[in-house]
Structure 1
Amino acid sequence: MSKAEKTKQFIIEKTASLFNTKGYLSTTLSDIAQATHLTKGSIYGNFANKDELAIEVYKYNSGLLSKSMSRSFGDEFPTTMDKLHAFVDFYRKNWRSVFSNGGCPLMNAATESDDIFPGLKNQVKKSFEDWAGKISSVIIQGQKNGDLNEKANAEEYASIFIMLLEGGILLSKTTGDEKFLNLALERITKMIDNELNILPS
């Protein structure tokens, strides 16, 4: 990394939690300067404007979540069922850290950007598409292996899993009660066990 690249990465990492907690639109240049201990001129010397920095921070935040979640689909989980259960367990085990950093970066950015910040909205759309693609790919592979119900629509299940997760996170973070996320995770588990799984005859 060059010195300029290191400085950019430093600014992104130092403001990652700030943007996700306070909001991509509400975070000010003064907030960024305070978080990084850099001058406003130095910040603008590395990013054209706040929007450019906000998009890079979103990519960083969503990337961290994606990498952590993707470990559930790794080779350490030998069967498709193991991978899907590990995906659910990731949220059971990590919801506290997700909440303490402002909640799900995808949902936060999606709620905030809408039509006001099209550049960010496009990035969020891509994140959700990638997320759904990873889940549906695991399901499709399980169907090819003969582990999962071949009649199940992988894309539909991936979308439903995401909708349940995001809704559970939203309600739990808003109310301060984890039961809503747990309800969502229990419902996903039942769908995996009773609808996707091929039960022994």
Structure 2
Amino acid sequence: MKKGEQTRERIIRKSAELFNQRGYAGSSINDIIAATGIKKGGIYRHFASKDEIAFEAYDYASGIVGRRFAEGIAQATCAADRLLAFFHAYEDVVNDPPFIGGCPLLNTAVESDDTHPQLREKAKQSLSKIMAMMSGMIEEGVKQGEFKKELDAESLASFALSLLEGGILLSKLEGTNTYIRMNRDSLARYLEQCCVTGR
């Protein structure tokens, strides 16, 4: 990797960590300079604005989380376990989240809801992608005879994602992994009811 590419990657990586911990509004260009050790001219040599950095930083952070999800999903042997793999990625959200600062989707959605339409759109795209992944897993589970035929894939995906994000929020706020684990266990029990008996 060339030096310019390394510099650009460093700006994205450090900014992603900064934004995911302090928020977009709570992070200034001077904060990015301090975090990266790169002067203002060096920052603006690679990016036209703080917004441009934020968009790429969000993609970087969500990409890391997405890879953690993919690793867990790849190890799962059934549809129910593939859904629970999302929770396993965040089982130690307080001390060791997939990305420093917690969930980029949750953090960005909360902060940008009424303040930054472009970042909000980034969060919405992530939401749609995760919902589609979960719905697809559920539909495949129905097709394979793991889940009951009458199961509504979109409703279950929405329920699972709400439990995940709610568990992350509560656990981060309280400083304990209790809530993410409680929500995981609640989903696991619910999925047992959704499964075809005898499997």
TM-score > 0.5, shorter chain as reference = yes
Q: Which runs of 5+ in 1 are unaligned?
A: none
Q: Which amino acid aligns with 1:47?
A: F
Number of the residue aligned with 2:142: 143
Deviation at 1:93, TM superposition (A): 5.0
Kindly indicate whether the alpha-carbon contact (under 8 Å) linking 1:80 and 1:139 is maintained by their aligned counterparts in 2: yes
Deviation at 1:94, TM superposition (A): 5.5
Q: CA deviation at 1:188?
A: 1.1
Question: TM-score scaled by structure 2?
Answer: 0.91
- Report the alpha carbon displacement of residue 192 of structure 1 after superposing the two structures with TM: 1.4
Question: 1:99, 1:173 within 8 Å by CA — same for their partners in 2?
Answer: no
The match for 2:19 is 19
Amino acid at match of 1:101: I
Asked whether the equivalents of residues 143 and 150 of structure 1 are also in contact (C-alpha less than 8 Å), the reply is: yes
CA shift for structure 1 position 142: 1.0
5 Å-filtered alignment, 1:101-140, equals: 101-140=100-139
Closer/same/farther in 2, CA of residues 31 and 4 from structure 1, 3 Å limit: same
Structure with higher helix content:
1
For 1:1-201, list aligned pairs within 5 A: 3-74=3-74, 76-92=75-91, 96-98=95-97, 101-195=100-194, 197-200=195-198
Give, in angstroms, the shift of residue 126 of structure 1. Answer: 0.3
In structure 2, the CA distance between the partners of 1:100 and 1:73, relative to structure 1 (3 Å rule), is: closer
How many angstroms apart in 1 are the aligned matches of 2:114 and 2:87? 31
The answer to whether the 8 A contact 2:13-2:57 is kept is yes
Q: TM-score, normalised by structure 1?
A: 0.90
Query: 177-186 vs 131-140, which deviates more?
Result: 177-186
The Cα shift of 1:136 comes to 0.9
For 2:114 and 2:92, the matched residues in 1 are separated by 34
Residues in 2 aligned to 1:150 and 1:95: alpha-carbon distance in whole angstroms: 37
Aligned residue type for 1:62: S
SS at match of 1:98: coil
Q: Deviations 1:3-33 (Å, cap 9, x if unpaired)?
A: 4333221211122211111111110111100
In structure 2, relative to structure 1, the CA distance for the partners of 1:112 and 1:93 (3 Å cut) is: closer
Query: Between the two proteins, what is the percent identity of the paired residues?
Result: 36
> Structure 2 stretches of 5 or more lacking a match?
none
Q: How many residues end up aligned between the 2 structures? A: 199
In structure 1, what residue type is equivalent to 2:196? I
CA distances 1:71-121 after superposition (whole Å, capped 9, x unpaired):
2222x4333233234333333255531288212111100011113211111
Greater shift, 14-23 or 79-88, is seen at 79-88
CA contact (8 A) 1:88 1:189 kept: no
Contact 2:147 2:196 in 1 (8 A): yes
> In structure 2, what is the Cα distance between the partners aligned to 1:87 and 1:16?
21
Distance in 2, Cα, partners of 1:151 & 1:52: 45
